[in-house]
Structure 1
Amino acid sequence: MRRPHRRSALLAAAILTATGATAGLGAGPAAAADCGALSYQSQAVLSGSTWTSTYGGSTVYSGTDMRAAVQAAVSALPASRTSKQNVLVRGSGSISANSRISLPSYTLIDVCGTINVTGTGSGDQAPIYSRGTHDVEVAHLTVSGAPLYGIFLRSVYNVILGQITMNLSSGLGIRIDNYGDTSVMSRNIRLDAANVSGASSHAVETYGVDGITIGTVTARNVGESGLLLNQTINATVGTVDAENAGTGTGYAAFRMANRNGRIGSSYATNVRVGTVKARGGGRGVFCVSESGGAVIDRVDIADTGNNSILVENCYNVTIAGVSGTVTGGGEVRISSRTEFAPSSDITFKNLTVTNTNIRWSPCTGTNNVVTNVTRVNSTLTWC
């Protein structure tokens, strides 16, 4: 087995230390090794135009179909296993948008190459798909083309996503939800780094997740949000870095919606974000629809086409816990719709706001505070 590159391992360890690890998952192979550096029980390897899949020295597939080769390598692992076994994919190829590679429980996949998604499809198809499973890991993955979803995970727990890169022409990058059984949240999820460009929807989206640690989401020219958390609790995010996310829309570099951060009927702080950086696009930060329980330590927002920051019907939200700058773009605003309780316990602090205004309107809600905010060519309209 090839030894991991020491510098890469140390860098990954530093990132993990800075962002924290989801309880029970540990550092994991994705955080510690370069692509192809683990030991593998099963492999799908491209030579010329032929994929050959092997398990235990036996060939389980030979042909030109990348999806069939990878699925054969995955399916060759013992169905009765009770710990992770590893699958190596070495080589690049294409699969249909109307197909998927399905990962069962106790499976790690390491894709050293690019999966290019072609054609059209419908439903929950994705080059990497897992539903109703646990102890699944995607150590490395690069996706191009036009998937419906790059990664689709439904009703899962104990999941690690390592180094994920998607250079897309449409689709949604990573979706993690609990729609298989909404009475039970997906849980214990870790995403080390997602770098997504060109998606027509969100770069990364969660819905119905309890316990997620995200290192970095880098979004470039995506149609909707960089990172969207819906009905997700106990979340820790290192950095959201978005350029032109949701241009011409109300989406944002970082968005919380649909009672995100609400535990029971309360909003104790349980969503913690290190940095949100936004350039252009729709909004910088958007909290909406009875979400809250969140602290964003640092913001760096400039030239958004919609609100730089909009907090609408949210509760117990602090921006910025440490420091932040907002330059140009739309207003920094607290707002409320009539169908929900008004925004309350919102704090804007430690900010320098330049060439855009700060406004609380309508004048509903309580304990909304502006403190230690420097305004440059900026008016303050407060209730």
Structure 2
Amino acid sequence: MARISLLANLLAFAATAYAQCGAGSPEATVGGSSGNYVATANGGQVYAGSDYRLAIQTAIDSISAGQRVSVLASGSIGASSIDISSGKTFEVCGTLDVGFNNARGAIRSRDTSDVSIPYLTMTGNPYFGMQFYGTSNLHLGEIVMNLSGGIGIRFDRDAASNSDVSMDSIRVTGAGSHAVETFNIDGLSIGEVIATNCGESGLLIQTSTNVQVGYVEGNNVGSGTGYATLRFANNNGQLVDGSYNTNVYVDRVVSRGGGRGVFCVSQSGGAEIGYVDLADNGNNAVLIENCYNLSILGGTVSGGGEVRIAARDEFPNTRDVSITLRVDGTTVRESPCGENISWNLSGNGARNIC
């Protein structure tokens, strides 16, 4: 049952690897304050001036694979980007403010391996706060984003795939769209995603396999939309042979208000959710639509939108679904009837199931 303690294991690893941001002897640092930044690398000064972004990028470009940059200063990079190349560790111990850079991430790592971002605190209104594709062995540690728009973390759809991605703790507030949106990852481990007041999904996982997630929490996420605290979409969990053997595991989902709680759609599946705690979702508490081999092993739904199994005509019918839930103050509906559906329900919620 290693996956049950995934969050604890990942956070313990992070604590062991880095006692705190900037600890030890990083090979490069960026210090100073607004208008006067200094970057050093491997014992020498590599930048001095007023450009926070240039100070950071120069420090990154001045180290080698296996070395670390610690950004001790706070500042703004404006509507620009910072790029991290293979083998490097990049951490921001201050607060990095970002602007809107159309179709680009404020922090980017593309077609790289062995990149680590153990610490980052970000503010601002990015297009993407962090943008990735073509990565292998990427590690994101304690990431805090207090945003006023945009997407928090994005793995691109129409780009090279990713493998062996790990995230420890991702906390996103105020994203205009998704807190975390992933595409094309084989081997994804997440300790926790906590999304608050975000416009669309909390954690949206797409076209990915071999996934383990400890905890997902959404507070007022996707209000007035069809998005969800946790959403599987676009063939997520479908293996290369076309099967949906279980390979996506989520320990716990908590959702309050907003749009949907849990949503599996568009030929996704192969997933097991250990426990849900969903209350007062404005849209469906749970919607399982054209989804294959999905289990919810336990939990509660209180008020809000209905728990529903559904299907659209353009995809094969929903099948091989097992739901164990206590449902109070809302309804449970199966329409149209799925195939090989198992319900284990308690609570006072009205039921219209096949």
Q: TM-score range by the shorter chain?
A: over 0.9
Q: Name the amino acid aligned to 2:247.
A: N
Following TM superposition, by how much is the alpha carbon of 1:48 offset from its aligned partner in structure 2, in angstroms? Answer: 6.2
Partner of 1:368: 341
Partner of 1:91: 73
1:235 to 187, 202, 211: 211
2:151 to 168, 172, 190: 172
C-alpha separation in 1, matches of 2:6 and 2:226: 31
Residue deviations 1:270-299 (CA, integer Å, cap 9, x gap): 000011100000000000000000010010
Determine if contact 2:40/2:47 at 8 Å carries over to the other structure.
Answer: yes
Partner of 1:54: 40
Moved over 4 A (4+): 14-17, 28-31
Partner of 2:176: 200
C-alpha separation in 1, matches of 2:232 and 2:275: 16
Q: Tell me whether 1:72 sits opposite 2:91 in the alignment.
A: no
Determine if contact 2:334/2:352 at 8 Å carries over to the other structure.
Answer: yes
Aligned CA distance change for structure 1 residues 247 and 48 (closer, same or farther; 3 Å)? closer
Following TM superposition, by how much is the alpha carbon of 1:77 offset from its aligned partner in structure 2, in angstroms? Answer: 1.2
Partner of 1:9: none
2:270 to 256, 279, 293: 293
Q: Secondary structure at the match of 2:57?
A: helix
Following TM superposition, by how much is the alpha carbon of 1:154 offset from its aligned partner in structure 2, in angstroms? Answer: 1.1
Following TM superposition, by how much is the alpha carbon of 1:178 offset from its aligned partner in structure 2, in angstroms? Answer: 6.0
2:317 to 342, 348, 358: 342
Q: Name the amino acid aligned to 2:104.
A: D
Structural mapping, 1:1-383, within 5 Å:
18-19=6-7, 27=13, 32-47=18-33, 49-78=35-64, 81=65, 84-97=66-79, 99-118=80-99, 120-126=100-106, 128-177=107-156, 179-181=158-160, 185-264=161-240, 265-319=242-296, 321=297, 323-349=298-324, 351-363=325-337, 365-371=338-344, 373-376=345-348, 378-383=349-354
Q: Secondary structure at the match of 2:53?
A: helix
Q: Secondary structure at the match of 2:56?
A: helix
- Structure 2: gaps spanning 5 or more residues: none
Q: Name the amino acid aligned to 1:238.
A: G
Following TM superposition, by how much is the alpha carbon of 1:49 offset from its aligned partner in structure 2, in angstroms? Answer: 3.5
Residue deviations 1:17-53 (CA, integer Å, cap 9, x gap): 543879xxx9367854211113211111124641101
C-alpha separation in 2, matches of 1:17 and 1:309: 25
C-alpha separation in 1, matches of 2:110 and 2:4: 26
Aligned CA distance change for structure 1 residues 106 and 261 (closer, same or farther; 3 Å)? same
Q: Name the amino acid aligned to 2:184.
A: G
Q: Name the amino acid aligned to 1:129.
A: R
C-alpha separation in 2, matches of 1:187 and 1:17: 22
Aligned CA distance change for structure 1 residues 218 and 314 (closer, same or farther; 3 Å)? same
C-alpha separation in 2, matches of 1:362 and 1:16: 34
**How many aligned positions are there?**
351
C-alpha separation in 1, matches of 2:121 and 2:305: 35
Aligned CA distance change for structure 1 residues 105 and 217 (closer, same or farther; 3 Å)? same
Aligned CA distance change for structure 1 residues 196 and 334 (closer, same or farther; 3 Å)? same
Following TM superposition, by how much is the alpha carbon of 1:352 offset from its aligned partner in structure 2, in angstroms? Answer: 1.1
Aligned CA distance change for structure 1 residues 48 and 205 (closer, same or farther; 3 Å)? closer
- Structure 1: gaps spanning 5 or more residues: 1-13
CA RMSD, 1 decimal: 1.9
Q: Name the amino acid aligned to 2:125.
A: A
Q: Secondary structure at the match of 1:68?
A: helix
Q: Secondary structure at the match of 2:60?
A: helix
C-alpha separation in 2, matches of 1:345 and 1:248: 30
C-alpha separation in 2, matches of 1:283 and 1:342: 21
Q: Secondary structure at the match of 2:104?
A: coil
Following TM superposition, by how much is the alpha carbon of 1:346 offset from its aligned partner in structure 2, in angstroms? Answer: 0.7
Determine if contact 1:30/1:160 at 8 Å carries over to the other structure.
Answer: no
Aligned CA distance change for structure 1 residues 122 and 212 (closer, same or farther; 3 Å)? same
Determine if contact 1:346/1:369 at 8 Å carries over to the other structure.
Answer: yes
Residue deviations 1:182-204 (CA, integer Å, cap 9, x gap): xxx30100000000000001000
Determine if contact 1:357/1:379 at 8 Å carries over to the other structure.
Answer: yes
Q: Secondary structure at the match of 1:39?
A: coil
C-alpha separation in 2, matches of 1:325 and 1:240: 15
Aligned CA distance change for structure 1 residues 40 and 289 (closer, same or farther; 3 Å)? same
